[in-house]
Amino acid sequence: MATSGNNSRITDIEPWYIPMDILRIVGPGGPQDNYEVQKSGQPRRVNSDLKRIQYQDSLCVFRAYINYSMTVIQNHSYNLQAIYRYVIVVYPTRIFWQSHRFQLFLIIITWIFGLIAFIPFLFTDYIRYNVENQICQAPIRFSFAIIYVALVIYIIPNMILNIIYLKLVRYVRQMNKRITSANVLSRAERELKMVRNIVTISTILVILGLPYAIFILMSFFTTIPQYHFRIAFIFIDISTTASMIALFKTTDTIKAAAVQTVTELVTIIAQMNT
């Protein structure tokens, strides 16, 4: 390994670096992907890998902070949708809870929480530049920072979502046992289906995020692979594609809109050829 100017270092790279870097750029969501905002630094990483340069740019730590914050907001947005569906079914007479004003209030609270939750990381050494992976993240090891990340980003949001889903399932089952009007029961089952779709998408993200979780657990007891972040984020990028497919398959309105769009395009092309 050699050293060059501007605190950068020249090092050997693995042959799979460049293909994976390019794949992450052209993958779904692009640089604006909420689940992995680190993609905004991906072109820089490709350039660094091509030139075999390891260099921490001035926005590296800030991108990591935004990455954590946006992931928290995204995961809790699933909870907001589930809570809204739950209120519609369980508390149909609480109109204020279903109002746009109250929902906007919850959204604002979610954003404030997401942006505040990781502010301390900006002013401590919790976020560090990982040379081998050319990324700024909380180091995966037994520490307060990584446990905090796991709890706030993954464990707590998913626990809340699954609790809401299970409570809604139980409530709808009780409705089936009682004398309930067909319209009310149909609406409850429709809202339950929507929450189930949300849980499905969240579960896909969790499953494909398992490599990240496994590396965290491994770090408590042994040394983890050198390129753990590169490996973990490949699976996270795949989860974005999988969740988009699941969203398309499970949401009738999206499927209907897609079919309508394709039909209109086919009609326009047919008219142009006649």
Q: Predicted confidence band at 131 (pLDDT cuts at 50, 70, 90)?
A: confident
More confident residue, 125 or 37: 125
Angle at 206 between CA 201 and CA 212, to 5 degrees: 150
**For the chain, percent of residues with pLDDT exceeding 70:** 77
Can you give the pLDDT at residue 52? Answer: 46
More confident residue, 9 or 62: 62
Can you give the pLDDT at residue 65? Answer: 92
Half-sphere exposure of 156 (CA within 13 A, CB side): 14
More confident residue, 196 or 35: 196
Can you give the pLDDT at residue 2? Answer: 40
Q: Predicted confidence band at 24 (pLDDT cuts at 50, 70, 90)?
A: low
More confident residue, 75 or 10: 75
Mean pLDDT calculated for residue range 160-175: 91
| Per-residue pLDDT tens digits for 197-209 | 889 888 888 888 8
Angle at 2 between CA 9 and CA 138, to 5 degrees: 35
| Region class of 7: left (phi > 0), else alpha (psi between -120 and 50), else beta | left
Distance of CA 15 to the CA centre of its chain: 28
Q: Predicted confidence band at 105 (pLDDT cuts at 50, 70, 90)?
A: very high
| Per-residue pLDDT tens digits for 225-263 | 877 777 887 777 777 777 777 777 767 777 777 778 878
Range of the domain at 240: 2-273
Can you give the pLDDT at residue 30? Answer: 39
| Per-residue pLDDT tens digits for 27-36 | 544 333 433 4
Can you give the pLDDT at residue 4? Answer: 40
Reported residue count of the chain is 274
Mean pLDDT taken over the chain: 78
Can you give the pLDDT at residue 110? Answer: 95
Can you give the pLDDT at residue 56? Answer: 63
Can you give the pLDDT at residue 274? Answer: 67
Q: How many CB atoms lie within 10 A of CB 11?
A: 16
Buried b / exposed e over 17-33, threshold 16 CB at 10 Å, is beebbeebeebebeeeb
Give the whole-angstrom CA distance, residue 49 versus residue 43.
10
Paired strand residues for 54: 9
Can you give the pLDDT at residue 23? Answer: 52
Report the CATH number that the domain containing residue 105 is assigned in CATH.
1.20.1070.10
6 pLDDT higher than 80: no
More confident residue, 236 or 221: 221
Paired strand residues for 10: 2, 53
Domains contained in the chain, number: 1
271 pLDDT higher than 60: yes
Mean pLDDT calculated for residue range 220-226: 84
Q: Predicted confidence band at 8 (pLDDT cuts at 50, 70, 90)?
A: very low
